[in-house]
Amino acid sequence: MLIYRIFDSYLQVGISLSTGVGMDESTLMECAGEVVMGNRFDLVLRGVAECVTQVELEALLEAKAQPTAYIGFEPSGLLHAGTLVPMLKVRDLITAGFRVTVLLADWHGYINNKLDGDWDALHTGVEYQRQMFSIFAPGAEFLTASELVRSDGYWEQVLRVAKATSLKRMRRAVSIMGRSGDEAESDTSMFFYPAMQATDIYALEVDLALGGMDQRHAHMLARDAAEKLRLPKIVALHTPLLGSLSGPGRMDTDTKMSKSDPASALLVHDSAKQLQQKLSKAFCPPERKGNPVLDIWEHLLAPALGDVIIDRSEKFGGSVKFENYAALEAAYSSGELHPLDLKNGSAAALDRLFEPLRAAVVEESGPYDALIAALGD
């Protein structure tokens, strides 16, 4: 793609738009604005489920050569394919010149009872995520919530957000944790979670907040509270959620891929055989709607790998390369591509995508081993 070639050319001469090293603001504006403005906009929006709002995003890219963005992750278990979808967008943002902070949200994980709320385990999960995300999205910066909450005025801002938000709204936003309002009734700290997430955005002073569609309530709360608190409103960028392999594969919070369902979660540490076994049992209807295997290709594999290749035995016609994801979908929908070939080809492609992450663990297994011990597996 043109934008990748353009940014590569800058890197070859020692100029990095993702860091701005050696460049003043006017030079950054000239490089980003005149050369790649249109492509930056398209790249940021590529594959997203929603942008609130596109007009604001366009204005942001016109005003700043190096905007800032953030995404947050609670430390929990091992990464799976669904986690990589928003991290793939982190790659795009970095390529488009953004400075991206990944918030390793240990305090949020504590509130949400991740890793049983054990702080030693949460710290272990943070170091594991730091290792994996730095491999998958080079150039991202990392900060823990423990560091952020010690910044001046953080907890005061949490209270200001709470004062600007109704309890009904806060209760509805608890869904960002994968929890219901009823669950929060027995743990009041959960009602502080959405206000903390909004405060994270303000404290980091970012221009854009990134997350899956399940984070929409928090981002909308942050935008609405910002108006009342007279703070800048962030652009909110939401990526699709990968559906559960067991179906029905709708991209909503009730059916998303989750490591709590081992048979549904395609873990980045799974072997080629394990990936094939899991995908062999995947729900895979003949149509596109509700097909989690095609979800994986559209939202992760095709944009991450570039080449859309289905590995297939010679006796079944050999491997086939498609021009793009749309061509793959058309071949499958028409019956030209058999469901088993789609599943096996998906397993092989995921194996290629996950290989650098597995290799990193082979080279330095400390964070992975510590997390496995904390999980008790």
The CATH number of 272-375 is which of 3.40.190.10, 1.10.240.10, 3.30.70.100, 1.25.40.10? 1.10.240.10
pLDDT at 37: 62
2-239 homologous superfamily: HUPs (3.40.50.620)
Q: In percent, how much of the chain has pLDDT > 90? A: 77
Mean pLDDT of 207-213: 97
List, for residues 315-342, the tens digit of each pLDDT value: 888 899 999 999 999 999 999 999 999 9
Its pTM stands at: 0.86
List, for residues 160-202, the tens digit of each pLDDT value: 999 999 999 999 998 888 777 777 788 899 999 999 999 999 9
pLDDT at 259: 65
Distance CA 236, CA 51 (A): 6
Mean pLDDT of 147-171: 96
pLDDT at 252: 45
Q: Where are the domains of the chain?
A: 2-239, 272-375
pLDDT for 15 beyond 70: no
- Output the average pLDDT for the chain: 88
pLDDT for 138 beyond 60: yes
The terminus-to-terminus CA distance of the chain in angstroms comes to 42
Mean pLDDT of 75-90: 96
